[in-house]
Structure 1
């Protein structure tokens, strides 16, 4: 299904579904709040993994690239979704990465070759600087170091085609919005120019219902959980105030953010 937003035609691309134990849930209020969240979802959680294609006057742009074949058969389906939508990898002009985690960036690589032979890779400058600095590796728990290897491979396979982006406009009607915490340079992309702006917020939320109702609920994948909460609360409030539509790497569809009690809710619009 495609959607028109100003100068761009949007096609969502589903890479697959990531399943894991609900033990990854965390909560700053302590074990009772964490246990209550786990009781709501059960022993396992399933999280959709999305990418997005934007077709405009200046060619094809992707937001994130999925996992490639690295994370098993349940994932890595973005190339098939692209083919179904008539998108050839060589036709992609640029890829806007929200951050340098595997489910967003490993789809850039086909073994030791780049998947996108003609694409510029746009990376949030803060994420690229952090994961590109090997001296920072020891400051990160071992199970959260994947971004360093991804960045090293990105530098090698896409040399000369990487552009780091600061907050602000990265291409016509699209601006980078910093949302740090999940990674230090984690960012969203705000698409304007249509009747309603649309924010692609990356991993600001992984669990649409639970985390919109309780933005303090997080997942163990965050590098800085307190900062991730601050970003999540901030973006939910800003989207509600500004009337932004939102789409995410791990939430289904396009929604608007509505206040609900002490939290928020996502109301599907597509």
Structure 2
């Protein structure tokens, strides 16, 4: 089921592709193991469960997606966004562009259907810094094998969707859509600010994964962050700016649309009705 709100000319709908169960062992803390243990003292279970989201922007320039989920690449527990979008009247051929926050599987594998593009008529807009990084053999050698999946994915995207790819810079990329550099999770990780005036939405990809933990303690991160310290700085800056500006926020793994309130060194997420 999709949930939606309007920002500027766009009706923004959230689609859940599946639930990712991250092992607790994948969490890290910038101040070390003792700080992580204290932060997790009230957490129950061996996983941290989070939605895998993609977003549809319906506007005067057609249908745009922010991220594409992972399709069927990760098995039957995922790929639900495709059926949900069709049920909402969004056929794959009707999507005119897909804008990626970054090149990770749960955001980009949904672009691929076997050996063909799943959205046959879409341009695929990719942050130029991420595309540059994940197509660099020199950059690949800087990361351990477990963190090299983005390089293989970029190669696959180029092979199957190469003619559709368009590298994009930061700044205004469409009417009432601004690309904002939010590095750390990946070097070219990008958020998208949608709307104008006082009513805006920041789709921040993976700047923050789990509001229940990272709002209370932004020092918590995941091993998926390529540069954990930069990811922390980006996360803290994004939380503070969203709270100060009064923007709404969602992202790759948040369970809805939220307003953020600052409480000293911590933050509180207030769910917004849809």
TM-score by length of 1: 0.97
Shifted more, 71-80 versus 181-190: the winner is 71-80
Query: CA separation in 2, counterparts of 1:34 and 1:195?
Result: 36
Is the Cα–Cα contact under 8 Å of residues 95 and 119 in structure 2 kept in the other structure?
Answer: yes
> What are the equivalent positions in structure 2 for 1:32-181 lying under 5 Å apart?
32-42=34-44, 43-181=46-184
- DSSP-derived class of the 2:42 partner: helix
Which whole-Å deviations, capped at 9, do the CAs of 1:123-175 have from their partners, x for residues lacking one?
11110000011222111111111111111111122222211111101111101
Is the Cα–Cα contact under 8 Å of residues 5 and 195 in structure 1 kept in the other structure?
Answer: no
Structure 2: gaps spanning 5 or more residues: none
Query: CA separation in 2, counterparts of 1:194 and 1:76?
Result: 35
Which whole-Å deviations, capped at 9, do the CAs of 1:48-90 have from their partners, x for residues lacking one?
1000001111100000000111112221211011111110001
Are positions 1:16 and 2:18 aligned together?
A: yes
Are positions 1:211 and 2:214 aligned together?
A: yes
Query: CA separation in 1, counterparts of 2:206 and 2:219?
Result: 14
Query: CA separation in 2, counterparts of 1:137 and 1:18?
Result: 25
TM-score by length of 2: 0.95
Aligned length: 270
State the shift of 1:3 in Å: 1.7
Query: CA separation in 2, counterparts of 1:159 and 1:182?
Result: 24
Structure 1: gaps spanning 5 or more residues: none
Shifted more, 189-198 versus 255-264: the winner is 189-198
Which runs of 4 or more aligned residues in structure 1 lie more than 2 Å from their structure 2 counterparts after TM superposition? 36-42
What is the aligned-residue RMSD (CA, Å)? 1.2
Is the Cα–Cα contact under 8 Å of residues 39 and 217 in structure 2 kept in the other structure?
Answer: no
